[in-house]
Amino acid sequence: MRLFWTLILVVLYNGCSSEGVNSTLSARPKVVNIGCMVYFNTLVGKVTKVAAEAVVEDINSNPDVLVL
């Protein structure tokens, strides 16, 4: 259970930016950092890797996804 909460905190921390709020709200960010800590040689890790790659492909294919 401790690992679960650690992963949640890491994911939330990666979403926080130390640069502050973007001044141009309509601009798509150049880079979005995502992160997770899994072992890729486990079943959960393999599924997570495939899911993360699908998310990246989906977001990059639609230019309207990350526009605020």
pLDDT band at 19 (very low <50, low <70, confident <90, very high): low
AA letter at 30: K
pLDDT of residue 13: 64
Domain count, the chain: 1
Domain membership flag for residue 11? yes
**pLDDT tens digits for range 22-47:** 455 556 777 778 777 888 889 988 88
How confident is the model at residue 14, as a pLDDT?
A: 62
- Rg for the chain, CA atoms, rounded: 14
Range of the domain at 34: 2-17+27-61
Torsion angle in degrees (nearest 10) through CA of 19, 24, 26, 29: -30
| 66 or 39, which is more confident | 39
Residue 36 in any domain: the answer is: yes
- Would you say residue 66 lies in a domain? no
In a domain, 52, yes or no: yes
Does 47 fall in a domain?
A: yes
Kindly report the pTM of this predicted structure: 0.49
Q: Is residue 13 part of a domain?
A: yes
**Tell me, what's the pLDDT at 30?**
77
User: Rounded to whole angstroms, what are the CA distances from 37 to 9, 12, 49, 52, 55?
Assistant: 11, 13, 10, 12, 16
